[in-house]
Amino acid sequence: MKHSIDTYRLYRSEAVFSHAVRIVVNMTETVDIAVLDSAVNAAIKRYPYFAVKVTVDADGGFRLSV
């Protein structure tokens, strides 16, 4: 797979790249699930975009759906 620092594979096909920032976090301590669940729900309520599914339509464009 050819790639640059600015792109990563969004789908299994190597032909479709997303030009978005991807953040990877490696945790070293156990996560409190109740706190994480509360934080996720607060983030989705404030930023509904985090709760969408990205698909590729027949024309090759990205489609966002809930």
Question: Looking at the predicted structure, is the pLDDT value of residue 28 above 60?
Answer: yes
Instruction: Determine the pLDDT at residue 32.
Output: 94
Q: Residues 38-50: pLDDT tens digits?
A: 999 999 999 988 8
* pTM score: 0.46
Average of per-residue pLDDT across 15-42: 83
CA distance 21 to 42: 22
CA distance 4 to 24: 17
CA distance 62 to 49: 14
User: What does the domain layout of the chain look like in residue ranges?
Assistant: 8-65
Output the CA torsion sign for 11, 17, 20, 21.
positive
Instruction: Determine the pLDDT at residue 10.
Output: 54
Question: Looking at the predicted structure, is the pLDDT value of residue 16 above 90?
Answer: no
CA distance 44 to 50: 6
